[in-house]
A and B are shown apart, each in its own frame.
Chain A
Amino acid sequence: MLKQIEGSRGIAEAVALCRPKVICAYPITPQTHIVENLSEMVRTGELTGCEFINVESEFAALSVAIGSSATGVRSYTATSSQGLLFMAEAVYNASGLGLPIVMTLGNRAIGAPINIWNDHSDAMALKDAGWIMLFAETNQEALDLHLQAFLLAEELGCPVMVNVDGFILTHAYERLDVPTQEEVDAFLPPFDPAILLDPDHPLSVGAMVGPDAFMEVRYLAHHKHLRALARIPEIAGDFAQVFGRESGGLIHEYRTGDADTIVVAMGSVNGTIKDVVDELRDEGHNIGSVAVTSFRPFPLQTVHVALEHASRVVVVEKNLAIGLGGTLASNVRMALRGAELPVQTVIAGLGGRPITARSLRKAFEEGERDELDEPTFLDLNWEVVGRELIRVSETRRSGPTAEGVLRATAEGRP
């Protein structure tokens, strides 16, 4: 059914259609509208047989989900940014225990300086916690990925994090195709837990594991991700059959066939990137793009095949691995082992800085000429940076950077 709704509402409706039995949440911007919607659905009876638990922290939110999932019911939570970091210990724990929890991450920057706007720093901070991490390009895909996420999680015994760009997706109103309960029921079978706390069949879950077995346990977690590499495209194929549209999969390729330059990115920025690709194509540039949908497991082989025929790769990422450069770029370089292909990194959109088509176009044109700095900081105000560097060099007690930059920025305004 077509609806003109907010992205968060679409995600909430998708989650409700999956018939979760326990939803636990703690408010954090920009995730809040998702769980507000779900709490209302539980209250009004639109979502039955489900308990919505308001907890006192994100750490508790995921911990409640750990308890409920281990007790054999479909469990969901959502978070963002600082919230993900506050629950970090439980994030690792959920995957270590093999619990098929689905969590939405409304991607947002991490402080300090405190900043509520979108980038991918939160997801990248926990990229190796054992969760399958999917990135939605559009709100339709965000909705669809949640339906696929429960299937994938429960089949593998591995939690899935569905990443949606904060505000850009979560707060955007657009037309969404919301499936019917019958369609979802046909796609997603009832939860048949592998781990079940039950007095009739007592299990000890969460024992200490020493050096004699820890490596094997970790390998088997890795093996789940290897299986996910095969299952993610299959599930996307099944999804297309039931729902009649393409969503999910490992990557999306766009006009890459004969491209000399291929742009790689994750999430909603791919919309703008595709517009720029179209614009440049119209002018005769051989450029295309790849949206990475599955960041964990990272589809090394699929990315390799998609990129190897190009002459260069430009990675646009909303994350800065301070002291290194780009995380996605590093992963792409690993995928390109054996291919002599330069990878240029464009760090963009940190803390919600708008990523404009004009700026991307300029970066791509420089990229085509192999002229991008490594890494390139898109639309960085070098004047402000320079002023702050001079100020700090002149005064030992220069105070905090953020406040210094704010002052410099304000001074630069008319």
Chain B
Amino acid sequence: MSIDGSSQRIKFYQTGTWTIGNRLLDPEQRTVQASADRSNALTCGHRACQGCGEALAARYALDAALRATDGRLIAVNATGCLEVFTTPYPESSWQIPWLHSLFGNAAAVASGVAAALRTSGREDIRVVAQGGDGGTTDIGLGCLSGMFERNDDVLYICYDNEAYMNTGVQRSSATPPGARTATTPAAGPRPGNDRGTGKSVPRIAMAHDIPYVATATVADLHDLEAKVTRAMEFHGSRYIHILVPCPLGWGSEPAVTIRLARLATESGLFPLFEAEHGQVVRSTPIRHLTPVADYLKLQKRFAHLFKANGNQEYAQSGLHVLQAEASRNISIYNLNPAASADGDRGGIDS
């Protein structure tokens, strides 16, 4: 698929590689990150681990939001990795006004910031709230739902690394079935995370009929930036759920963070879509459908699913559960590769 309106028709994945070449695009179509004058909301020197997906996603998202708001932005942060690794005071990586209050109240604090901006005539300033999956899908869900229901003018971004990484990798409600965490150890006859029903906060957000909901990963910068930019076109509550691989918690090589994020979408486990006012309006078909095992094998948290000496039957059923979840996503969000006309990847930016 090509960029419409460019001086030439560019295919992102021209030679079957995964590379999305900025170099081939007209300057105005390149990513915010490609620009020398990007805001760099989250600047260097922070204490994130090598290969941290969250650090990348936070900078990508906030720089895009800053461009969209002409730099008029306040960020509210839930307690978590992002909060801890960015503010080893007296140093701070934040180049923007930034407020951390508690673990479970980022959405409510952001509502308060937005209200104060309205009543003090500073409505040119916009508000972003951000938290990890623990602060969003678990302890912060009440405040988040309240913010959605009131349709407060806040973009909430969840950086989902699928467990409580800051406290040492404990299970959250975003931890996938079978994953090993410190509280779902790969031990005993039923190793890894229990296979519950799961919890899709993007769909919970959609159930509030808020103006805009999207999912994204750090694997596709164009897509992530486009979604943040789109989100800033709306007023009211908006929600973006970004999958951010965590080398520490996932037991993966720092070098494969982007690849893992891509495999999460290419396997169907993490569907990329956008919803407006409660309805899915776009989804990104899978380009090269990949078995979930290709994604799982790169992560030590799933190693017990592939061990020769383990409970083979349980491991097999675990793989089936994850493959079934991927298939279900492909069906619900219409991610089938065939949905893309030229076999290439669809989506809003490519």
Residue ranges of A at the interface with B (Cβ–Cβ < 8 Å): 21-22, 24, 49-51, 53-57, 59-60, 63-73, 75, 89-90, 93, 97, 197-199, 201-209, 213
Cα distance, A89 to B103, chains bound together (Å): 10
- By the criterion CB–CB under 8 Å, are A54 and B116 in contact? no
Cα distance, A55 to B110, chains bound together (Å): 13
Candidates A49, A60, A67, A204; contact of B113 at CB < 8 Å: A67
Cα distance, A24 to B116, chains bound together (Å): 11
- By the criterion CB–CB under 8 Å, are A64 and B98 in contact? no
B94 at interface by CB-CB < 8 Å: yes
Cα distance, A6 to B109, chains bound together (Å): 32
Candidates B102, B111, B117, B142; contact of A57 at CB < 8 Å: B142
- By the criterion CB–CB under 8 Å, are A208 and B87 in contact? yes
Cα distance, A64 to B107, chains bound together (Å): 9
15 new A-B contacts at CB < 8 Å, known A64-B108, A97-B101, A204-B98: A22-B112, A50-B119, A59-B142, A67-B116, A68-B112, A70-B99, A70-B109, A71-B113, A75-B112, A90-B102, A199-B96, A199-B97, A201-B97, A208-B89, A209-B89
| Smallest CB-CB A-B distances: 4 pairs | A67-B112, A206-B100, A71-B116, A56-B146
Cα distance, A21 to B117, chains bound together (Å): 10
B143 at interface by CB-CB < 8 Å: yes
Candidates A21, A24, A93; contact of B101 at CB < 8 Å: A93
- By the criterion CB–CB under 8 Å, are A63 and B108 in contact? yes
- By the criterion CB–CB under 8 Å, are A197 and B146 in contact? no
Task: Choose the segment among B69-77, B188-196, B208-216 that binds chain A (4+ C-beta atoms closer than 8 Å).
Answer: B69-77
- By the criterion CB–CB under 8 Å, are A63 and B109 in contact? yes
- By the criterion CB–CB under 8 Å, are B111 and A199 in contact? no
Closest residue of A by beta carbon distance from B118: A51
For residue B72, which residues in chain A have a CB less than 8 angstroms away from its CB? 199
- By the criterion CB–CB under 8 Å, are B96 and A55 in contact? no
- By the criterion CB–CB under 8 Å, are A63 and B143 in contact? yes
Given A67-B108, A204-B94, A53 contacting B101 (CB threshold 8 A): no
For residue B146, which residues in chain A have a CB less than 8 angstroms away from its CB? 55-57, 60
Cα distance, A300 to B160, chains bound together (Å): 51
- By the criterion CB–CB under 8 Å, are A205 and B74 in contact? no
B95-152 interface with A by 8 A CB criterion: 95-102, 104-105, 108-120, 125, 142-143, 145-146, 149-150
For the complex formed, measure the closest distance between the CB of A407 and the CB atoms of chain B, giving whole angstroms.
37
- By the criterion CB–CB under 8 Å, are B109 and A73 in contact? no
Candidates B73, B83, B109, B115; contact of A51 at CB < 8 Å: B115
For residue B145, which residues in chain A have a CB less than 8 angstroms away from its CB? 56
State the interface size on chain B (CB cutoff 8 A): 43
Closest residue of B by beta carbon distance from A97: B101
- By the criterion CB–CB under 8 Å, are A66 and B112 in contact? yes
Candidates A53, A93, A197, A202; contact of B115 at CB < 8 Å: A53
For residue A59, which residues in chain B have a CB less than 8 angstroms away from its CB? 104-105, 108, 142-143
Given A67-B113, A73-B119, A197 contacting B97 (CB threshold 8 A): yes
- By the criterion CB–CB under 8 Å, are B105 and A90 in contact? yes
- By the criterion CB–CB under 8 Å, are B94 and A60 in contact? no
B92 at interface by CB-CB < 8 Å: yes
For residue A72, which residues in chain B have a CB less than 8 angstroms away from its CB? 116, 120
Given A57-B146, A60-B143, A199-B71, A68 contacting B96 (CB threshold 8 A): no
- By the criterion CB–CB under 8 Å, are B100 and A205 in contact? yes
Work out how many contacts link A and B, with CB atoms closer than 8 A. Answer: 154
For the complex formed, measure the closest distance between the CB of A39 and the CB atoms of chain B, giving whole angstroms.
14
Instruction: Enumerate 5 A-B pairs (CB-CB under 8 Å) in ascending A order.
Output: A49-B119, A53-B150, A199-B97, A202-B94, A205-B99
For residue B20, which residues in chain A have a CB less than 8 angstroms away from its CB? none
B25 at interface by CB-CB < 8 Å: no
For the complex formed, measure the closest distance between the CB of A341 and the CB atoms of chain B, giving whole angstroms.
43
For residue B97, which residues in chain A have a CB less than 8 angstroms away from its CB? 197-199, 201-203, 205
For residue A207, which residues in chain B have a CB less than 8 angstroms away from its CB? 87-89, 92, 100
Given A54-B150, A71-B120, A202-B96, A197 contacting B87 (CB threshold 8 A): no
Cα distance, A190 to B35, chains bound together (Å): 43
For residue B119, which residues in chain A have a CB less than 8 angstroms away from its CB? 21-22, 49-51, 73
Closest residue of B by beta carbon distance from A96: B101
For residue A50, which residues in chain B have a CB less than 8 angstroms away from its CB? 119
For residue B116, which residues in chain A have a CB less than 8 angstroms away from its CB? 21-22, 67-73, 75
For the complex formed, measure the closest distance between the CB of A340 and the CB atoms of chain B, giving whole angstroms.
46
B84 at interface by CB-CB < 8 Å: yes
- By the criterion CB–CB under 8 Å, are A63 and B102 in contact? yes
For residue A90, which residues in chain B have a CB less than 8 angstroms away from its CB? 101-102, 105
For residue B112, which residues in chain A have a CB less than 8 angstroms away from its CB? 22, 24, 53, 63-71, 75
For residue A56, which residues in chain B have a CB less than 8 angstroms away from its CB? 142-143, 145-146, 149
For the complex formed, measure the closest distance between the CB of B114 and the CB atoms of chain A, giving whole angstroms.
8
Cα distance, A202 to B92, chains bound together (Å): 11
For residue A68, which residues in chain B have a CB less than 8 angstroms away from its CB? 112-113, 115-116
Cα distance, A241 to B92, chains bound together (Å): 46
For the complex formed, measure the closest distance between the CB of B218 and the CB atoms of chain A, giving whole angstroms.
24
For the complex formed, measure the closest distance between the CB of A370 and the CB atoms of chain B, giving whole angstroms.
48
- By the criterion CB–CB under 8 Å, are A71 and B108 in contact? no
- By the criterion CB–CB under 8 Å, are B89 and A197 in contact? no
Closest residue of A by beta carbon distance from B84: A208
B59-80 interface with A by 8 A CB criterion: 71-74, 76-77
Given A22-B116, A51-B119, A207-B92, A67 contacting B111 (CB threshold 8 A): yes
For the complex formed, measure the closest distance between the CB of B280 and the CB atoms of chain A, giving whole angstroms.
26
- By the criterion CB–CB under 8 Å, are A197 and B74 in contact? yes
Closest residue of A by beta carbon distance from B154: A67
For residue B99, which residues in chain A have a CB less than 8 angstroms away from its CB? 67, 70, 197, 205-206
For the complex formed, measure the closest distance between the CB of B205 and the CB atoms of chain A, giving whole angstroms.
15
